[in-house]
Amino acid sequence: MGVKKIAILGASGQLGQSFQYLADAFPFELSCYDRSQLDITNKRSLEHLETDLVINCAAYTAVDLAEEEPREAYKINRDAVANIANVCVHKGIPLIHFSSDYVYHNNVRRPLRESDPTRPKGVYARSKLAGERKIVAICDQYLIFRVSWLYGPFGKNFPKTMLRLAETHDNLRIVNDQIGAPTNTIDLAKMILRLCVEQDGVWKHRRGIYNYCNTGHTSWAEMAQFIFSKTGQDVIVEPIPSVQYPTKAKRPRNSRLALSKFSKTFGIAIPDWQTSMMDCLRILKTNDDALALD
């Protein structure tokens, strides 16, 4: 029996909204729940779900604030994820969940592989790893995607912040020693829905943890330069080292993710980050006449 009904949890976040955006292009009945409709910390409300598959986009994502609110971060990223996993097992349905490149925090000079050791630093990263571990321990049908540097047309993210700052700044100092791949949430959501159409059952015989991001890599400073050059903004980017931009939670220098396990297992092509960034800028432009694209 194939998947017909999909429940999207955390539907008002960047990724959750991207699933909603794609809903009409795929042959599923998507039921989307934001926090007010379904709080994932409330196990009872999860038990009422009637669905063939759960896609969990809900998470505590305030990386720096998590240092001051560890209980809240663990409640959502670990304990509520365990609730979802238990409900899925009880109902005999698969779970698709998202984790983060931050779980690695490994500054080797190559892309990180799923088999590399995890050394998360900071509450957010540790709580995300704890959530992964709950799913692996509880579920028999699951896919966990470790993703990096999410952005898209919806919610708050780096490209949208850059476009906003460009309205008031001629000059911006941006970190250039953290390297990774920006990942367009629409590509990510599309990939997941394609899996559901083309590779039904994959969460059982290929269950596990997979990296996913757009291909290529860049730094935050280089990404900002790319965005400004493609949108005709006259902003000078001054590249700075991370030590000049201290944050409460430490960010990894190396966020590059190896994609060979994903590619060998699923055989789905992944767009490069520049192409995907242009796709996002085009969508943003449709909502903002003032935004120019070359």
Q: Buried (b) or exposed (e) across 176-203, using 16+ Cβ within 10 A? A: bbbbbbbbbbbbbbbbbbebbeeeeebb
239 binds ligand NAP (CB under 6 A): no
Cα–Cα dist 182/197, whole Å:
25
Least distance (Å) between residue 65 CB and ligand NAP: 11
Cα–Cα dist 73/248, whole Å:
15
Cα–Cα dist 193/287, whole Å:
25
CB nearer ligand NAP, residue 31 or residue 200: 31
x/- map, 63-92, ligand NAP, by CB under 6 A: -------------x---x------------
DSSP state of 185: H
SS3 37: coil
Which residue is catalytic, options 60, 102, 104, 124? 124
CB nearer ligand NAP, residue 15 or residue 143: 15
Of 103, 147, 113, the residue nearest 251 (C-alpha): 103
Give the chain's radius of gyration (CA, Å).
19
CB nearer ligand NAP, residue 41 or residue 106: 41
* Chain residue at closest Cβ approach to ligand NAP: 13
CB nearer ligand NAP, residue 4 or residue 156: 156
111 binds ligand NAP (CB under 6 A): no
40 binds ligand NAP (CB under 6 A): yes
C-beta pairs of 69-73 under 8 Å, 24+ apart in sequence: 69/123, 70/123, 70/127, 73/123, 73/124, 73/127
Choosing from 19, 28, 74, 98, the residue that interacts with ligand NAP (CB under 6 A) is 98
CB nearer ligand NAP, residue 62 or residue 200: 62
User: Is residue 245 among the annotated active site residues?
Assistant: no
10 binds ligand NAP (CB under 6 A): yes
Binding part of the chain for ligand NAP, among 56-64, 190-198, 231-239, 245-253 by CB under 6 A, reads 56-64
User: What distance, in Å, lies between the first and last C-alpha atoms of the chain?
Assistant: 47
Q: If binding means CB under 6 A, how many residues of this protein chain bind ligand NAP?
A: 25
Choosing from 6, 7, 8, 15, the residue that interacts with ligand NAP (CB under 6 A) is 15
Query: In the numeric block, which tokens belong to residue 272?
Result: 């490069």
Binding part of the chain for ligand NAP, among 38-46, 113-121, 199-207, 246-254 by CB under 6 A, reads 38-46
CA dist 127 → 18, 55, 72 (Å)? 24, 19, 10
At residue 78, what is the residue type?
R
61 binds ligand NAP (CB under 6 A): yes
Choosing from 39, 69, 79, 222, the residue that interacts with ligand NAP (CB under 6 A) is 39
96 binds ligand NAP (CB under 6 A): no
Choosing from 57, 88, 166, 175, the residue that interacts with ligand NAP (CB under 6 A) is 57
β-bridge partners, 142? 95
Cα–Cα dist 41/29, whole Å:
24
150 binds ligand NAP (CB under 6 A): yes
Binding site for ligand NAP (CB under 6 A): 10, 12-16, 35, 39-41, 57-61, 76, 80, 98, 100, 128, 147-150, 155
Residues recognised as catalytic: 124
